[in-house]
Amino acid sequence: MKLRTLFVQASLVGLAACSSAPPTASGSAAGPSAGTPAPAPAPAPAASAQPAANAVDPAAIQALNNMGKYLQSLKAFEVVIDLSGERVLADGQKLQHTATADLDVARPNKLRAQMRSARSQRELIYDGTTVTLYTPAQKSYSQAPFKENLGALAERLRARFGVEIPSADLFLWGTDAAPLDNMQSAMNAGQDIIGGEICDHYAFRQGEIDWQIWIAAGGRPLPRKLVITNRGDEARPQSVTLYKWNLNPRPGSSAFAFKPPPGTKQAEFVPLKSR
């Protein structure tokens, strides 16, 4: 699965951290003086037991399938998302940035996503026939016709306009758009408590990406936390996503309708190839 969060594209692609050589031991660099016998090498420590490398636990893959199937069964939900991501400076120092998103969803084709950070605020509204991107600070909005489901919407916006829906994989897990056959490793890492709820913790490796997910234990296997580590960067920057769920929302039909506020102007969606 190609995982994406609000920060995966921007924050995990940092500059490579600089590293320095380890300091040398004090004393002469020439080694022992002539005639002095070299000390006997220390015995190698006994090898400790390690888990099998590149093992794919079928139960971990099944847990993802179960979670995806459950997500696809939800007709309506609200999820509040807290995101953090790291940007790596040229000297290796990491800077962390945060954002939040609030998603109201009614399947198969209605969405309102409110995205906020210290630097920007945007709203994405999809009523089943038109998708609208509204930027309050600029008092502008862009619209495009669209009539497919939310998974197709997420892929279309990303590929054509470079617009990311926060945690768009929520609409892809449990579908053919989320293949799970290219895992290098998959494991059950035990249990943790996330947001006061017992969760099963799983860890996966796909290419240069390591990712972990915490799935609520029991009959409602909802994702509660997602951590993505970019191994392609030696600084190993991470993004962290926390999910808070409401499975009984009352958004009303007006939640997915967009009425331009007074003083706003309409602008065109600009395709990536035109930028």
Q: What is the DSSP string of 26-93?
A: SS-TT-SPTTPPPPPPPPPPPPPP-PPTT-B-HHHHHHHHHHHHHHHH-SEEEEEEEEEEEEE-TTS-
d(C-alpha 26, C-alpha 31), whole Å:
11
Q: Domain map of the chain by residue range? A: 64-267
Residue 38 has pLDDT above 70, yes or no: no
pTM over 0.85: no
Asked if residue 111 has pLDDT above 90, the reply is yes
Give the integer Cα–Cα distance in Å for 132 and 6.
18
pLDDT of residue 66: 97
**Per residue in 124-139, pLDDT tens?**
999 999 999 999 999 9
Instruction: Report, as an integer, the average pLDDT of 70-79.
Output: 96
What pLDDT, on a 0 to 100 scale, did the predictor assign at position 52?
53
pLDDT given at position 181: 74
Does position 275 have pLDDT exceeding 70, yes or no?
Answer: no
pLDDT at 168: 93
pLDDT classification of 272: cutoffs 50, 70, 90: confident
State the average pLDDT over residues 69-82: 96
Residue 54 buriedness (CB in 10 A; 0-12 / 13-18 / 19+) = exposed
Which class is 64-267 in CATH?
mainly beta
Can the peptide bond before residue 41 be classed as cis, meaning omega within 30 degrees of 0?
no
Residue 2 has pLDDT above 60, yes or no: no
Share of the chain above pLDDT 90, in %: 70
pLDDT-derived band of residue 186, with 50, 70 and 90 as boundaries? very high
